[in-house]
């Protein structure tokens, strides 16, 4: 199956250059906001968030009256990112120095860690590193006032949630409400915890946001030139030979010449055999013959059945702590692409796992969390001189009519495609949209942040600061909510008119997410979502000194773009067009049947919008739209005719 997304980057080197203080581009941007009491840093994996925190924390400790800094990470292995670091060697005014006694990611039981945490609060030491769990346990019975004049830094902040059962979320709320502590929250995800928000709107409004997007990061690399995101659908078991094919789906997609992390399926997914150790064995069998294992490092030596090459394989699925520590230490200390060829993982090798040589993140099984997908893709998007292309591939079981799980499989397939659409939005360059009118004499092509300016006729600008903030920093979050909406999932394959999607379904979701916006600002936010999505799915070309936008089936002069024209384009249909060419007609029929079985209810607003198209259809064909048509749009118009007829009848009765 071809990549649903293929993004090219400029290799400018900008994101890796350092200033006089030793800060990279993202770190400098974050440091400029260092005086904020509550700071949220959204930046992709490998952008340098851990060191950004060091710079900010040291300034707070030395210049802002903060007495202590506590850094909480989701698991012990990530604590290594915050070890003592000589920052003065690159121009900063102080070094990051952690007393080993208070790096709680390296020693002791849970009880001793909590005890050490409480001792730290009473000591003269300034810096403590712990896990999220230690912070939660230590907080039980702790007076929040003990955290006055303290900086709390939460790495991988998406682990926090506004859900009342999320203990870390409750800890954060209490710290904010009952102490004067400063908070630095860091996340590599662009989404607010997927379905459940990380913070409630009133709490999130207190945070100063620093966003460094994926495009800035990857475009500023030296070596990585392109990133592909693709999906591969299969029947049966991913590790077994497929019907009418000489090899398994895994063997088809796995290139042993690429440094690869294989994430086996979650035990709860349809793709899992429920026996994780057996799955590791099947993957090794697909690679070749296991010859030996190094007793010191834990590296497995597998002789490839394709090339005869001896492959070095790391098994991170093994629950034996001693064996896992061995291979983890080996991977952590490796400084060459030759150190390992394939890593097999389940829960590990996602957040905070650094293997810069990785070229291919191969994930088996549907991932319901957009945050998890971003984290997995991030394993392959480190910049390294051994690669010019990074690849994310998701192997997903395609629906089969004879199984009871057909609806689940169809939903998973639709959501997987939706995730790819979202990733395309995240990975593409950002634009700034302005109103264009005939009196406009501003000819600038970029704003102060280097974003390309595109002017749209009929474009509505936000009036409130709230709407401006949403447009500036929350568009990807909002798109995530839109693309995960059940009605939107059913509408996207093209069975609903683009105008209905853009002017009815999308604003309905915006009103649900942001009930405080007035109608003018709902429309402004809606237009930004639609225009941004359509333009990012389009191609901008220059011909004869003029720029044109190729969107859907239209080729439009960029000076003539009007919001009414953009509203006629389904911004999310491209992936489904690719999908339709990549799976069997039987699978497409199953998807259509599933959508029809839970079809969108007709609204008066949609029916009225469709009426001009119905009249145009009748004028062109001489017939009313057919309810039995195989064309989903004709069928929808026929449903609208029935709906309007019934509405007219009901109103006549009411008025009679």
Asked if residue 37 has pLDDT above 80, the reply is yes
Question: 201: phi > 0 → left, psi -120 to 50 → alpha, else beta; which?
Answer: alpha
CATH number (3.40.50.1980, 2.40.128.20, 3.40.50.300, 3.40.640.10) of 13-212 reads 3.40.50.300
Give the N- to C-terminal CA distance of the chain in Å, as an integer: 60
Highest mean pLDDT among 182-186, 497-501, 628-632: 182-186
State the pLDDT at residue 391. 92
Position 163 pLDDT exceeds 80: no
The confidence score (pLDDT) of residue 190 equals 57
Mean pLDDT of 284-292: 91
Round to whole Å and give the CA distance between 214 and 630: 41
By C-alpha distance, which of 209, 213, 216, 214 is closest to 33? Answer: 209
Kind and range of the H or E element at 279?
A: helix 276-287
- Domain boundaries, given as residue ranges, for the chain: 13-212, 223-397, 426-599, 601-656
Distance of CA 563 to the CA centre of its chain: 28
CATH number attached to the domain at 223-397: 3.40.50.300
Q: Is-same-fold flag (13-212; 223-397)? A: yes
* CB proximity list for 617: less than 8 A, separation 6 or greater: 624, 625, 634, 637
- Between the alpha carbon of residue 241 and those of residues 238, 246, 276, the distances in Å are 8, 7, 19
C-alpha 344: how far from its chain's center? Answer: 22
Confidence band of 581 (pLDDT split at 50, 70, 90) = low
Which tokens belong to 362?
A: 């191969």
Q: What is the mean pLDDT of residues 66-72?
A: 96
Query: Which one, of 81, 84, 75, 183, lies nearest residue 131 by Cα?
Result: 75
Q: Is the pLDDT score of 495 beyond 70? A: no
DSSP characters for 168-235?
Answer: HHHHHHHHHHH---EEEEEES-SSSSTTS-SS-HHHHTTSEEEE--HHHHHHT-SS--EEEEEEEEES
- Distance CA(567)–CA(112), nearest Å, equals 60
The pLDDT tens digits of the residues spanning 376-396 come to 888 888 899 999 999 998 888
Count the Cβ atoms, other than its own, within 10 Å of residue 586.
11
What phi and psi values does residue 562 have, to the nearest 5 degrees?
-130, 145
Q: What is the pLDDT of residue 70?
A: 96
Question: 119-128, 193-202, 567-576 — which is least confidently predicted?
Answer: 193-202
pTM: predicted TM-score of the whole model, two decimal places: 0.77
Average model confidence (pLDDT) across the chain = 84
CB neighbourhood size of 433 (10 A)? 21
Phi, psi values for residue 373, rounded to 5°: -65, -45
* Strands of 546-551's sheet in order across: 539-543, 546-551, 554-557
Cα distance between residue 637 and residue 633, in whole Å: 6
| Residue 377: predicted pLDDT | 86
E strands present in 212-340: 226-234, 260-263, 288-293, 300-304, 310-315
Segment 258-278 mean pLDDT? 83
Highest mean pLDDT among 16-25, 421-430, 647-656: 16-25
């Amino acid at each position: 199956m071809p990549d649903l997304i293929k993004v090219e980057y400029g290799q400018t080197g900008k994101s890796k250059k350092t200033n006089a203080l030793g800060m990279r581009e993202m770190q400098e941007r974050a440091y400029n906001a260092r005086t904020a009491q509550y700071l949220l840093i959204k930046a992709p994996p490998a952008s340098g968030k851990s060191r950004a925190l060091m710079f900010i924390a040291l300034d707070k400790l030395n210049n802002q009256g903060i007495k202590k800094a506590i850094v909480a990470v989701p698991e012990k292995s990530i604590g290594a990112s915050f070890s003592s670091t000589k920052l003065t060697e690159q121009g900063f005014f102080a070094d990051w120095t952690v007393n080993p006694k208070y790096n709680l990611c390296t020693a002791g039981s849970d009880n001793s860690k909590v005890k050490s945490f409480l001792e730290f609060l009473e000591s003269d030491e300034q810096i403590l590193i712990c896990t999220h769990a230690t912070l939660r346990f230590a907080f039980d019975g702790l007076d929040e006032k003990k955290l006055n004049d303290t900086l709390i830094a939460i790495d991988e902040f998406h682990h926090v949630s506004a859900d009342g059962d999320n203990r870390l979320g409750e800890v954060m709320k209490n710290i904010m409400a009952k102490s004067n502590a400063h908070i630095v929250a860091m996340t590599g995800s662009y989404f607010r915890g997927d379905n459940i928000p990380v913070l409630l709107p009133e709490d999130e409004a207190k945070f100063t946001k620093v966003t460094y997007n994926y495009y800035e990061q990857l475009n500023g690399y030296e070596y990585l030139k392109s990133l592909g995101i693709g999906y591969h659908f299969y029947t049966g078991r991913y590790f077994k030979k497929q019907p009418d094919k000489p090899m398994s789906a895994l063997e088809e997609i796995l290139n042993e010449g690429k440094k690869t992390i294989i994430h086996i399926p979650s035990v709860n997914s349809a793709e899992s055999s429920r026996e994780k150790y057996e799955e590791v064995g099947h993957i090794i069998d697909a690679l070749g013959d296991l010859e030996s294992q190094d007793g010191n490092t834990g590296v497995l030596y597998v002789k490839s059945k394709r090339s005869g090459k001896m492959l070095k394989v790391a098994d991170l699925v093994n629950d034996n702590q001693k064996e896992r520590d061995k291979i983890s230490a080996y991977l952590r200390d490796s400084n060459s692409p030759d150190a390992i060829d394939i890593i097999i993982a389940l829960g590990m090798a996602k957040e905070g796992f650094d293997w810069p040589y990785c070229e291919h993140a191969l994930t088996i099984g549907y991932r319901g969390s957009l945050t998890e997908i971003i984290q997995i893709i991030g394993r392959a998007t480190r910049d390294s001189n051994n690669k010019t292309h990074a690849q994310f591939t998701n192997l997903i079981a395609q629906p089969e009519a004879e199984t009871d799980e057909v609806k689940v499989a169809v939903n998973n397939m639709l959501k997987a495609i939706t995730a790819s659409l979202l990733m395309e939005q995240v990975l593409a360059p950002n634009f700034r949209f302005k109103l264009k009118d005939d009196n406009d004499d501003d000819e600038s092509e970029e704003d102060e942040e280097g974003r390309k300016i595109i002017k749209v006729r009929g474009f509505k600008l936000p009036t409130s600061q709230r709407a401006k903030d949403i447009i500036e920093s929350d568009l990807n979050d909002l798109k995530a909510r839109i693309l995960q909406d059940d009605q939107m999932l059913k509408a996207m394959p093209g069975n609903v008119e683009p105008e209905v999607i853009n002017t009815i379904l999308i604003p309905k979701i915006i009103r649900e997410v942001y009930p405080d916006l007035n109608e003018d600002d709902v429309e402004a936010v809606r237009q930004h979502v639609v225009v941004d999505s359509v333009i990012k799915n389009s191609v901008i070309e220059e011909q004869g000194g003029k720029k044109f936008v190729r969107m859907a089936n239209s080729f439009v002069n960029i000076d003539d773009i009007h919001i009414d024209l953009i509203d006629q384009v389904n911004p999310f249909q491209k992936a489904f067009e690719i999908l339709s060419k990549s799976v069997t007609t039987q699978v497409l029929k199953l998807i259509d049947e599933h959508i029809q079985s839970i079809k969108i209810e007709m609204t008066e607003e949609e029916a009225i919008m469709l009426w001009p198209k119905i009249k145009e259809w009748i004028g062109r064909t001489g017939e009313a739209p057919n309810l039995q048509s195989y064309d989903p749009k004709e069928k929808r118009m026929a449903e609208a005719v029935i709906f309007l007829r019934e509405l007219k009848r009901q109103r006549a009765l009411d008025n009679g």
